[in-house]
Amino acid sequence: MPKTANYSDEEILLALIWTMPKKMTKGQLGRLLGIKSAGQKYWSKRFERLDKQNLLSIEKLHAGELFFGSPILQYYLTDANLESIWRHYFVHYDERHNLVNDPFLTPFSAGIWNVTSSPEFSKLVGSKFSYYFLCSKNAANHIQPSEILQSSDKKKFWKLMDAVLSIAWKIEAYRRKPALLETLNSEQKKMYALVTSLYEEQIKAHPADYKKFKELFVKNFKYYL
């Protein structure tokens, strides 16, 4: 039986975050992670536990007699899952999570933009607009998720999750405070320009959801805006 350490919850969730809104079977998810044992029953129990914590969603596809009546299970994330992931890992985290250094937008400081001060902040991360934006960003990424995952330091997957999940509200912050752009280097500015264009597209495509997103943003950052 494979060891739990070889297949962490963070690896599972980050793989799903980078493939939203696709739905994958155990085997597909395992191949994405480069783990051959993903099809074993042992991993079904792992997925069921994550589902009970609302950290991922499971859909059953009943294939009739084709597979002797056994359902095909698909795993994916919803906006509610994103909210739960943030709350689970970045609000109620243990002592080893003292400070998150976001590799995309490093100027933010947990001392200034205290994202854990409001119990409702996770709703901002898991808002419909944030979900749509992440889906569009992933779809526009020409690098395969498997390449990103396999080249990452697996011991720091939770930091990568923070970088991905926080990108929407950080883009909103930079749009409101252009002076922050001066703190970015040339490569970060290029990345910022790219993701901002995708961000603007989602504002046009989902104006009502963006309005709700803005209300949540202002509520959480009202002392700093």
pTM tops 0.75, yes or no = yes
What pLDDT score does 36 carry?
A: 65
- Residues of the chain short of pLDDT 70, as ranges, are 1-6, 36-41, 62-70, 91-119, 222-225
What pLDDT score does 137 carry?
A: 93
What pLDDT score does 40 carry?
A: 62
Cα 100 to Cα 168: distance, rounded to the nearest angstrom? 16
What pLDDT score does 156 carry?
A: 77
What pLDDT score does 116 carry?
A: 53
